[in-house]
Amino acid sequence: MISSDFRTNRAQFSWSELSAYQDRWVAFSSDGRRVIASGETLEYLEEQLASIGADPQRVVLEWIAGPEDDGAHAGAELF
């Protein structure tokens, strides 16, 4: 479940901050305050999380859409 703290903190990221992650999956901390890792695929993102010792059950994954994206992958998932 995504907490209200996550939603509040995640909303504080500006588009200019997130634009570096366009067309990528991003792992946010469970409180939404920071980006833990990112990757072009979920598999690569999972590898990044493993390499830094991050618990994949304690992050929120979100696809950051690019300018051409239709939004089909948009949204966050708590793992």
Number of folded domains that form the chain: 1
* pTM exceeding the 0.85 threshold for the entire prediction: no
At 24-66, the pLDDT tens digits run 999 999 999 999 999 999 999 999 999 999 998 999 999 999 8
Q: Please, where are the H alpha helices in 1-79?
A: 4-10, 15-18, 42-51
Q: Which residue has the higher pLDDT, 64 or 67?
A: 64
Sign of the dihedral defined by the CA atoms of residues 14, 18, 23, 28, in that order: negative
pLDDT at 13 over 70: yes
pLDDT at res. 20: 96
- Domain range for residue 22? 4-78
Q: What is the mean pLDDT of residues 8-18?
A: 96
